[in-house]
Amino acid sequence: MRHLLSTADLSRDEAISILDVAGQMAATQRREIKKLPTLRGRTVVNLFYEDSTRTRISFEAAAKRLSADVINFSAKGSSVSKGESLKDTALTLKAMGADAVVVRHPISGAPHRLANAGWIDGTVVNAGDGTHEHPTQALLDAYTLRSRLEQDAPGADLKGRRVAIVGDVLHSRVARSNVRLLTTLGAEVVLVAPPTLLPVGIGDWPCSTSYDLDDVVGGGHGDLDAVMMLRVQRERMNAAFFPSAREYSRRYGLDARRMAKLPEHALVMHPGPMNRGLEITAEAADSPRSTIVEQVANGVAVRMAVLYLLLSGQSEGEGA
């Protein structure tokens, strides 16, 4: 593994080894001294062309806990606003000797281009590209599921678990990455969304779909182990995908009534940031079943694992 661009590139064993390493990283984060010398002298650049709170802070914390040097770059306030291209920015980073570039970009495929165009030598980690993929989010979701449902047993997968992903699938890179990763790990995925918010070609995805959230939470597709709510991405919506926010909320929002229909152990997940009152009510978001804050904490451990796996033994040209 040289880059992490898509969860589709991960085999079951690779995915499990990332989760196992993340488990050990999480253990180090419960110690008094959290900083490890593992990536001393390596440089990690956070290249963010899109706004982000969680992901950028999480990658920064992960790199710093492993003693790497971190350079933060955001498109706002940089030469990008003067019209600098991705290539020229990449060449600048190469000249500075970046060992890893964590990139978020509004255009799908930008990290792939960065990894394969020969502009930089370092390893590329996709931190979200357009409506394509967000692999570390899917890994931290899988880690959260495994730690809650399988007690984070090393080597365990999610075989036989059933996860519903609800909401704006069309614009969601989180949904894409999760469908691929969770299926690789043996879980079943049900996508629930209005027909307008499901992408073309959904029939080829390795999952089932439904338009009816009440049916799915009630066990219409089998008992659920987790419900993952997606954010309605208004900034990417250039047309009317549903009549009104109120109608969306009534048909596809997670509230106390729907939560009560779920099995006892089922988790409520959300990648954040949430639109409280739209796709999820405060009652659901703040309930004890909600893993939303836990997901953020797990994000640091998972990203530490990813950086460790990609940056150790780099000269061999092969990792996990």
- Binding site for L-aspartate, residues? 82, 173, 231
In the shown chain, the binding pattern of residues 3 to 22 toward another protein, with x for contact by CB under 8 A and - for none, equals: --------------x--xx-
Tell me if 319 contacts another protein by CB under 8 A. yes
Q: Which residue has the tokens 């990658």?
A: 59
Distance CA 34, CA 20 (A): 18
Restricting to residues 252-311, which ones interact with another protein according to CB under 8 A?
308-309, 311
What residues are designated binding site for carbamoyl phosphate?
54-55, 104, 134, 137, 272-273
245-264 burial: b if 16+ Cβ within 10 Å, else e: eeebbeebbbeeebbeebee
Distance from C-alpha of 320 to C-alpha of 311, rounded to nearest angstrom: 11
Quote the least distance from Cβ 116 to another protein, whole Å: 22
For the chain, the helix, strand and coil percentages under 3-state DSSP, each to the nearest 5? 40, 15, 40
- Print the binding letters for residues 36-65 with another protein: x by CB under 8 A, - otherwise: xxxx--x-----------------------
Contact call for residue 24 and another protein (CB under 8 A): yes
Closest to another protein by CB, 20 vs 279, is 20
Alpha carbon distance 284, 261 (integer Å) = 12
The C-alpha atoms of residue 100 and residue 303 are separated, in whole angstroms, by 12
Cβ 70 to another protein shortest distance, Å: 18
Beta-carbon neighbour count of residue 313 at 10 Å? 11
- b vs e for 120-156, b when ≥16 Cβ sit within 10 Å of the residue's Cβ? bebbbbbbbbbbbbbbbbbbbbbbbbbbbbbebeeeb
- Using CB under 8 A as the binding rule, whether residue 316 contacts another protein is answered as yes
Instruction: Compute the least distance from the CB of residue 314 to another protein, in Å.
Output: 7
Between 31 and 82, CB nearer to another protein: 31
Min CB(46)–another protein separation in Å: 21
Establish if 33 lies at the interface with another protein (CB under 8 A). yes
39 vs 267, beta carbon nearer another protein: 39
Task: Please give the structure tokens belonging to residue 52.
Answer: 């982000």
Query: Binding to another protein by residue 312, rule CB under 8 A?
Result: yes
Closest-CA residue to 104 (of 311, 274, 303, 320): 303
Contacts with another protein by CB under 8 A lie at 17, 20-21, 24-25, 27-28, 31-33, 36-39, 42, 66, 308-309, 311-316, 318-320
